[in-house]
Structure 1
Amino acid sequence: MEKRIKKGMTCASVTFDQLISQENLAQNKPFKAGDVAIFEVLEIGKHAQIQSIGRNLTITPGDRIMGVFGARYATSQFEGYVPQTLQEEYHLLGGGGVVGIVASTHSKYEEEGPTRLKLIGMAARINGKVINTIEENAFKLRRFDGSSVSKTKVILSLGSAMDSGKTTTAAYLCHGLANKGIKSAYIKLTGTAYPKDKNLAYDLGACVAVDFTKYGYPSTYLSSEIELLNLYESLISDVLPHHPEYVVVEIADGLFQRETRMLLNNSIFMSSVHQVVFSAGDSLAALHGVQTLQRWGIMPSALSGIFTASPLLIREVKDFLLEELGLLYLPILNLEDLALGRWPLIQSKISQLQA
């Protein structure tokens, strides 16, 4: 009986005609981000499941999974890259089925490490060409020209780090807008494949929620600037048929991460942004984040994130904003504020509707 292949979300719809075994691959042939392969699970580490369309699939040693080669930047988990040569083993970098080689690991996962995989073969078409999810979706991408973005208002959700609260902030922004009768959409523009973020935003009120995986990207780490801009244009275009007044766009990781910094320092991209909400984990991150954004010519419309769970941290931030930066008023929004729409962007819109 042939073993069932468990597919990660990055390749859930992929079918293949043949497998090119590792023995038939050239030793110096580099893999590319988006290449699809079949792996055998050798040992379970951080990931004991892979996320497929609809649900998590439990994996055990001996299972065969279909995954996609990609890089990952995750300061709280793994740093990993697409291998440039054949390896004895490969690593599951993310629960969505992203595979590569771990370069560094957060200390909390050093003991268990990544889930280890053995390459069975590359998934290929009948002509022998390896299936690449990015290349096979490239024709769907729109060229960035700003035309789609001009038809809505973009709220950018940024964070000081991987776990600063920006996803929750983005989702609760959508929640607050929905509670005030204002339609919003959610886009995860950068990061590593995993549906949790867009699912949360949709569950909390976004009329539609999409991310970069729609165009075959297992992750956006190490993508070029034009790729990111084309993804932005395409994803905005995808949500426009739902007629959102606002589109909440989340960018993964912290301000100093490569793709985040690249986008925030792109004047054309930033000119398309209506408002910026910055999330931080503590008072120092909040204040330094505001200073960094100001140096880059960006003034956030509000602060949010994990630090807003502490009234004491909120007071620290307010005091410093006034004493050191001279900011008399910069809204600091906790989850209740976001969910109830108690923030200027919504309030001004409500006033316009009532006028």
Structure 2
Amino acid sequence: MRTLTHHELLKKLVEINSVYPNEEEISNFCIDLLKDLNFDIDVVDIGNGRKNILAKRGKGDTAILFYGHLDTVGVVNSEEWNTDPFKLTQKGNNYYGLGVSDMKSGISSFLTALKNFPGYIKILLSVDEENISEGAWTVLEKKPEFFKDVNLIIASEPTMNAQLNSLTNGRVGRRVFEVTVAGKAAHLFNQSEGIDSINKLTGFMSKVYDLEKSLFESKYSRIQIRKISGESVGMSVPALATCEIEVLLGFGDTEKSVLEKLNQIDESVQIRLKDRKTPYLDPYLFKDYPFKEMIEEIIEKRIGKKVEYVYRSSVGDENVLATLGIPVITWGTKGGNEHTNNEYLEIKSFDQLNKMQEEFLSNLTKL
């Protein structure tokens, strides 16, 4: 496995179905690969063989940590895929396959870039990122000492519509609220005596979208209705309807501030934070980080453009890792159609990222 190129490794990773919660096979594959690269391996299993991998090699006072998640979303609209999602397929200048952009190309890039790096390096490969980040949260809870000498975390998630000269140094946070609307049941024959909860909820949801801009201070905040439920029992006016509201929170907006504004839309509606197994994610931003000038110079030389920093309107395991207070940057490939059919990777960006990461690691050995 030591001799695999980044293209060959990507092919093997795409061929492994790692739709969460089925990450066991890809975890075992990566453990064998990292052992072949002489890494010391520790594992945090969250159940059913779903293994987070903590790897380290070398010695030193501080280490850089490369991060990737092993899971993918499911196959969306399988009938609309033009290729086999679990086979790396080249068409023109792109590769196609599930997870090829998000984020098996990033993992393939840094694992091959660092295989000959003689310095002190750490790797975290997590599970469940595409769900509720249970893998990353469990690692932080059970293995906090693993991060104590880490001074920079590099996540190789895709650029997500940005160019290859972009680095993500911040992300929004996320909350999900449950909305309950109570009506009054009545026989449909006496409809005027009832209160239609679905109709009332529909009005509330329309106002949420109409007032979206006034709900937030940050231009990065977002809101959407993610789930709706309600029905008539027999030939009756529906007495109960519910929905879930997903909110992405930029700096300046908080769970409390958004909840207060939602309650002002209709005080008769009950709104509460939805319970979940892991903590909700808060926003982060790192304006400075170790080796910033070095990384910027490499990108400008290789891409021909100055670095553009991106504050991303999405959440991920990077939000979890940012709670450590260690700078986190996202430095990845360029592709598209993540989380939908015909996910693709621009091959040129894959090669460029691999060369940039190789150069970065080579420069570190000269310090």
Pairwise same-fold verdict (TM > 0.5): no
Q: Give the TM-score of the pair, scaled to structure 1.
A: 0.24
Which structure: larger Rg? 2
Q: Give the TM-score of the pair, scaled to structure 2.
A: 0.24
Higher relative contact order (CA 8 A, sep 6+): 2
